Amino acid sequence: MATANEVAKYLIKSLPIDNLKLQKLLYYSQAVHIVLHDKAPLFPEDIEAWDYGPVVPSVYREYKPFGFDIIPGSDDPSTLSVPEMRSVDMALAGFGNMTGVELINQTHHEKPWKSACKPGRPSNVISLDVMYDYFKENLDFSEDEI
């Protein structure tokens, strides 16, 4: 199993991204992976429901110094397995063209974030079970992607 930071590094290498968008794509990468792999998580770290959407706190802190700037990628090879990369790539295909603000709006209309978010209290964990139940019905994969 990958760590959230390893997934973040893969996302950063994949497209120009700031911390806001990174957080939402981590969330969707986890969603894709648990649906494709019968609830097996992509990474073990919790995703929390913050006011501006889903956040992995340790990854947020790591990249917070970049603010709203694009995070520079590295030349390090990916440590993700092929199935892990596939899940992230599918999340990128579905959500990578959206802006951070569009991703915030998207997540704010979805049950996993809505059920966990308590305004002003950003430490509420988004349940993987709730994510699985929601996204198994709401992610649309083409035959080529599965």
pLDDT digits (tens, 9 = 90+) for 26-40: 999 999 999 999 999
Q: Is residue 132 part of a domain?
A: yes
**Tally of domains within the chain:** 1
Amino acid letter, residue 59? V
Q: Is residue 143 part of a domain?
A: no
Q: Is residue 146 part of a domain?
A: no
Domain that holds residue 110: 4-138
The pLDDT value recorded for residue 140 is: 81
Q: Is the pLDDT of residue 120 over 80?
A: no
Q: Is the pLDDT of residue 50 over 70?
A: yes
The pLDDT value recorded for residue 141 is: 66
Q: Is the pLDDT of residue 108 over 80?
A: yes
- 3-class DSSP state for residue 139? coil
Q: Is residue 18 part of a domain?
A: yes
Instruction: Give CA–CA dist 146/141, Å, rounded.
Output: 7
CB 125 within 8 A of CB 143: no
